[in-house]
Amino acid sequence: MDMKYKIRVLDIKNRAEAMVEFEKIGSTAVGRKIMAEKLFPVAIKIKGLKVLAINILKQEMLARGGDVVTSRDTLTNTGGTTDVIIEGPYKSFESLLPKLKMQPFGLKDLSVELEVFLKDHKNIRNKKSFSIGVKKFDLTSDIMVMGI
């Protein structure tokens, strides 16, 4: 499957880290401060989303107890693409997918990619071990892997 969007989980641990990530997508200083007060368990960054789709996405996430961090340009532009950060409880993302499948402006495609991404992410989170060659690493114990 050819992926249209770049999707990744952000590991935001505190307000300062949130402010940095929100600034990277072009959120205003006031917007960053407001959104940093709403730390959620899951934050997913999506690159290249159509500006027209963002208001729909934001409404749908707000209805599910989450939110979407956007750039200021999403309020004034109707064309082009931009990056967003979707935040919320994990279940809000799962309940969002069926709704996105019915929406225009690339949200149907996003729902397919987001569904695959969430499934892969859930599998990785639940993984208890992994192997490199013949060496097996137990992820339930404290280990440190270092590389140069």
pLDDT in tens, 77-116: 767 888 999 999 888 988 999 999 999 898 999 989 999 8
Percent of the chain with pLDDT over 70: 85
Q: Judge whether 94 and 118 are in contact, CB under 8 Å.
A: yes
Give residue 39's pLDDT: 78
Q: Which domain holds residue 117?
A: 6-138
Give residue 107's pLDDT: 92
Give residue 144's pLDDT: 58
Please provide the distance, in angstroms rounded to a whole number, between the alpha carbons at the two ends of the chain. Answer: 33
Q: Judge whether 90 and 64 are in contact, CB under 8 Å.
A: no
Query: What dihedral angle (degrees, nearest 10) is formed by the CA atoms of 135, 136, 137, 141?
Result: -120
Residue 145 resides in a domain: no
Residue 148 resides in a domain: no
Alpha-carbon gap, residue 20 to 64, rounded angstroms: 25
Q: Which two tokens stand for residue 53?
A: 């789709």
Residue 21 resides in a domain: yes
Residue 20 resides in a domain: yes
In three-state secondary structure terms, 131 is strand
The mean predicted confidence, pLDDT, of the chain is: 84
For the chain, the domain total comes to 1
Residue 1 resides in a domain: no
User: What's the gap between Cα 97 and its chain centre?
Assistant: 13
Neighbours of 81 (CB within 10 A): 16
* E-state strands within 6-128: 6-10, 42-50, 67-69, 81-88
Residue 146 resides in a domain: no
Q: List the one residue out of 72, 126, 124, 66 whose CA is nearest residue 91.
A: 66
